[in-house]
Chain A
Amino acid sequence: MHEISLVQNLLEQLRDLAHQNNAQRILRVKMVIGPLSGVVIDSFTFGFDILTKQEQLFDQATLEISIPKVVFRCVRCGHEMETDGQRPSGCLACSEPILMPEGGDDLILQQVELE
């Protein structure tokens, strides 16, 4: 459950942002969570729901998460396979087992709406 630590880090950034902008409420938080980021989305959402309940600044905050696709590229023939994060067992073109993922390991605070 390192997701709780990451949510705490997120809330700290949001408090700073609210302070800088003289805002009273965080309304909407948009995150990008890659399937290979090592972050379990249900745990992250759970942490967000629990921790935001304890503070007036966040009591109306909603969390929007977008999940990018991952491209696995074959190291032998360069064939690309796009998935939701699952690693194909081998290259569909040449059966090579070694596939390198591109992207999908990000955990990004993308946009915040506040008032």
Chain B
Amino acid sequence: MCDACGCHAPTHGHNHQHGHDHAHDHDHQHEPRPNGNDSLIVDINRSLFAANDALARSNREHFDTDGIVVLNLISSPGSGKTTLLEHTIDRLGSEIRIGVIEGDIETERDAERIRAKGVPAVQLTTGGACHLDAAMIHRGFHQLQREPGGDQLDLLVIENVGNLVCPATFSLGEHQRIVLVSVPEGPDKPAKYPKAFTSSQVFLITKTDLLPYFDFPIEEATREALSLNPALQVMALSAKTGDGFEAWINYLRSLVKSNQERTARA
């Protein structure tokens, strides 16, 4: 049971299978069995991702009950996640109620940038951890709900810690995972960091205003990403010039609209 809200967040995943051929309670004790050195061998066969996955499912139920679409933005540091969000809020803030959870190792800076746009934002500082996990999002979401306007959202954007590796392994309960690569980073990121691309629904190429100065064949990057994950939706944009931004905005609008229709039917 969650302390903040009384919701039924699993604190210890009990949805696993025991490796024994008999059922028992968790406080049951085995007698040591003679196998040469008085040791006991226990078969477990349980995923180490199971605890996070259970919490992520609980987050997802929360988001669905509240009718909120949730995005998880994953990229290297400096690929333009916060700038993308600032421009997105400028374009959509008057028609869609947006909230933001910022993940960084240190500082409140990104949340301050978002709050300056008049949108509720919570900063999670991981204190060294290289990714957000479902438990942090659970706490962060409750914190956001206590911010002015944070309890009435259509769209929650989670900006993960800048890192193309570790965040890909941890589900947060999001509806859509979006992997960003900026033009200066180069087109080889899908091939080098496949998990971020195989686990995402959208591949967003940012800073396209820099294409004249860098060797970034968009077609090649797109082809490589699609060979890893044929279902990826690929978009390219520049927040600075607004080039390609319309497709991104329309994508967000249609996500929110179909979620509202689904919630209304339910």
Q: Which residues of A contact B (CB under 8 A)?
A: 1-2, 5-6, 9-10, 13, 16-17, 20-23, 27, 36-39, 75, 87, 97-99, 106-115
Contact = CB atoms under 8 A, between A and B. Distances in A.
Q: By CB atoms of chain A within 10 A, which of B28, B29, B227 has the most?
A: B227
- Counting chain B residues whose Cβ lies within 8 A of the other chain, the interface size class is 35 or more
Q: Is the interface of A mostly helix, strand, loop or mixed?
A: mixed
26 contacts: A1-B130, A2-B165, A6-B48, A9-B48, A10-B48, A17-B44, A23-B40, A27-B39, A38-B169, A38-B195, A87-B194, A97-B223, A97-B227, A107-B48, A108-B45, A108-B46, A109-B44, A109-B46, A109-B48, A110-B43, A110-B44, A111-B19, A111-B42, A111-B43, A113-B40, A115-B38
B37 interface: yes
Contacts, number: 89
Contacts of A1: 130, 166
Nearest to A111: B43
Contact of B130 (A2, A17, A97): A2
A38 B170 CA distance: 10
A111 B223 CA distance: 41
Contacts of A9: 48, 51-52
A48 to B, nearest CB: 12
A88 to B, nearest CB: 11
Interface of B: 19, 26-30, 32, 37-49, 51-52, 129-131, 133, 165-166, 168-170, 194-195, 223, 226-228, 230
A108 B130 contact: no
A20 B12 CA distance: 15
Contacts of B47: 106-109
Nearest to B161: A2
Given A2-B130, A110-B43, A20 B26 contact: yes
A13 B40 CA distance: 16
Contacts of A10: 48
Contacts of A16: 26
A9 B29 CA distance: 22
A102 to B, nearest CB: 13
B51 to A, nearest CB: 6
A99 to B, nearest CB: 8
